[in-house]
Structure 1
Amino acid sequence: MDAEAETTGARRGPAAPLPAAEAGFDAIGLARHLLRTIRSGALATLDPQDGTPFVSLVTVATDTDGTPLMLLSRLSAHTRNLLADPRASLLFSAGGKGDPLAHPRLTVTGRAIQSAEPRHRARFLARHPKAALYADFPDFGFFALEPGAGHLNGGFAKAAVLRTDELRLDLAGAEALVAGEAGAVEHMNADHLDALALYAAGTGAEPGPWRLTGLDPEGMDLLAADRTARVLYPEPVREMGALRKVLVAMAARARAGEGSDPA
């Protein structure tokens, strides 16, 4: 072992998680899947009086690039903490049957900043429609957790740390796609619920009815009541023309797989 490797090993320690690129499994893909599919998480903030960690349950959505979004009330302790010190962490846990520690979870650390970006509001309410009942109350506001790092535990013997650029999508060149998202979502939900059902089924999800809540260069986010599904495209897209072609091809393949006429 060379000197650099010895130094790196000593710094990490014997049980430290590897960088995502060295983890031996698709750590980036799993982390992004957790970000996109989990609708609530444990938010840890710092009490401004004495620095005591304070953990609470919050509902979560994501921006187009994967940045976590929250709708918080200033009457809540966690919001008061964030307004005094924006440092925070947010735990996304898949949960499931059996040992809770056998299921994947992701902790994102960073700074939670209040946001007036209309897209943040739209994407959050698409993910949590009932929140529209109180989103405009004067004490509520949207916050974006600007990620500094991700800490992933994918289950037994699967751990990795992720950089900001591994958690979030690079949206360079996808400006038209971001700008056209709302129209595309409305169109798909109005005219193509059958295709959305096919996309969801392709992920192994149970029947819906499924609705589209958001799309991005990597895939689509679907919602059926309190259930979510993440649909990845065969390849990334960065403009609307390419998106339409990919969605048509995906629906055709799904129909053909069911034995239906792909036309």
Structure 2
Amino acid sequence: DVNAVEAAITPRTKAVMPVHYGGLAADMPALLALTRKHGLKVVEDAAHALPTTCGGRLIGTLDSDVTVFSFYANKTITTGEGGMVVTRDAELAKRIKTMRLHGMSRDAFDRFTATVPSWYYEIVAPGFKYNLTDIASALGLQQLKRLGAFQKRREQIAVQFNEAFAGLPVITPPLAASGDVHAWHLYVMRLGDAATVDRDTFIERLYAAGIGCSVHYIPLHLQPYWRDRYGLSPAGFPHSQKAYERMVSLPLYTRMTDADVSRVVAAVRAALG
């Protein structure tokens, strides 16, 4: 809701961080127009969004200031841990490269592949140990070659779920706009108003049937740190609270077989009563 975003902007606001939740692109054209209007930066949370597209363009190639991807073990492609930062800002990219490795002005590769190799380096800022290992990077490059096949299988499973759940008292995930790609990192369904079972009981029934499922995610206003430090409560976030109380993430991974999908569908039908 871009209008809600604009209403939340204050003189202290520096950036807007859209999240491409579950692999579906946020309304980036509207958000980019809004941030230009207010002179704000845009940092895209694209942890779920490879290879999501928006308006025919890959997430990470839009006009945002920074886009951040995750290659954690459960993502569409993985390096085990770590991720990727994408930006067109050359100075920002230079600073990110420096900050990722203890604030060093030159990493080992640069030092020993330069025209004049040198052991010398400088610490120019307080940094972190966020560099991706060579082994993890090699794994990621091989995974990248299979990205299209991974996304296609995830989409096939999501379509099977959507078709199977038609007519049930559940709300299936929204689809990508025509011509765009949904990464389908998650398949998050919500129990509809007509459901006769609450979310927690529904999950318990799926567990009892041997179906792993989860909730993505528990809202920040319910987490002790933010709740207690900032005085947050469900009343201040009615839409997030309602969605949280009804949402369930079903299994979705590339090695699921059609038989696995059918088993999940049968368990969902039974759990709904």
TM-score in terms of structure 2 length: 0.29
Greater Cα radius of gyration, structure 1 or 2: 2
Q: TM-score normalized by structure 1?
A: 0.30
Bigger strand fraction: 1
